[in-house]
Amino acid sequence: MRPPEPPGRLVRFTRAERSIHHATALLMLVCLLTAALLYLPPLSALVGRREMVKTVHVWCGFALPVPIVLGLLSRAFRADLRRLNRFVPADWQWLRRGDRRAVRDGRGILPVGKFNAGQKLNAAFMAGAILVMLGTGEIMTFPGPWGDRWRTGSTFVHDWLFLAVLAVTAGHLWEALRDREALTGMLTGRVDSGWAARHHASWADAARGSANAGGRPAVREANAQLDEAGAGAGEAAAGPPGTPGERGPEFAKRPPGTS
């Protein structure tokens, strides 16, 4: 029998979601480290064993999409992919406003769902980068069928995209280390309800409501509908009072600033 959830904490990530994240992160870090050992002469001379480092880099690179593909078996992971793939009006506000992290009465002023706009952009960039790196890496590893232009172009894209991925990964780690509760959520799967209200207000409302309604099955059900319900309700809460029709789902789909 599963023990009851500690009071004041909300389930944010399932074990499957955390396992997918950790496996992908580990493979990505190994790819970046071995790439640095291969491309930076001081590090390459310091470590040596170039062929072994290259082999580790190639195998980890080709294995990088595997945790994500296997993760599609998880219902919670598929629901998170749908959330990450959808920009709602609150996300555009989050990008435009300088006070996006402001808190009023213990609650974020913007109705952010389970993921904010920065996390969605980071996920989209990393997904695209993995595909491009996989394609260019395949051409570099098996150059036989490819002409000079393809090989040269692939090497150019692979090298410069490595620097971009390195910068984005460093920024992602920096943000995670600055927010201990967010890091705890990814490590343990649970976060403090006050933190959730400050940073992901719409998700916190739905998660708390579903938990009160009956536990984990209700939480999963609420998570599946979170962005749709949260976007409409949160938009109305953050903006000026409107008519009942303005709080409906059609109004939530309009870009901010339109009537």
Q: What is the CATH number for 166?
A: 1.20.950.20
Q: Is residue 42 part of a domain?
A: yes
Residue with tokens 């402001």: 102
Please answer whether residues 222 and 207 qualify as being in contact, where contact means their C-beta atoms are separated by less than 8 angstroms: yes
In a domain, 239, yes or no: no
Domains in the chain: how many in total?
1
Residue 223 lies in a domain: no
Q: pLDDT class for 147, splitting at 50, 70, 90?
A: confident
Instruction: Say if 244 falls within a structural domain.
Output: no
Q: For 87-101, write each residue's pLDDT tens digit.
A: 888 889 889 888 888
Coil, strand, or helix at residue 70?
helix
Alpha helices in 189-240 (DSSP H): 193-199, 201-214, 216-224, 226-238
Residue 238 maps to a domain? no
Residue 246 lies in a domain: no
pLDDT level of residue 244 (50, 70, 90 thresholds) = very low
| 92 touches 239 (CB < 8 A) | no
In a domain, 247, yes or no: no
Tell whether 48 is covered by a domain: yes
pLDDT in tens, 172-221: 999 889 889 999 999 999 999 899 999 998 888 888 776 655 544 444 54
Domain hosting 81: range is 10-213
pLDDT tens, residue by residue, 31-53: 999 999 998 888 888 888 889 99
Position with higher pLDDT, 8 vs 179: 179
Whether 235 and 90 have beta carbons less than 8 Å apart is answered as yes
8: left (phi over 0), alpha (psi -120 to 50) or beta: left
- Prediction pTM value: 0.75
What is the pLDDT at residue 190?
A: 92
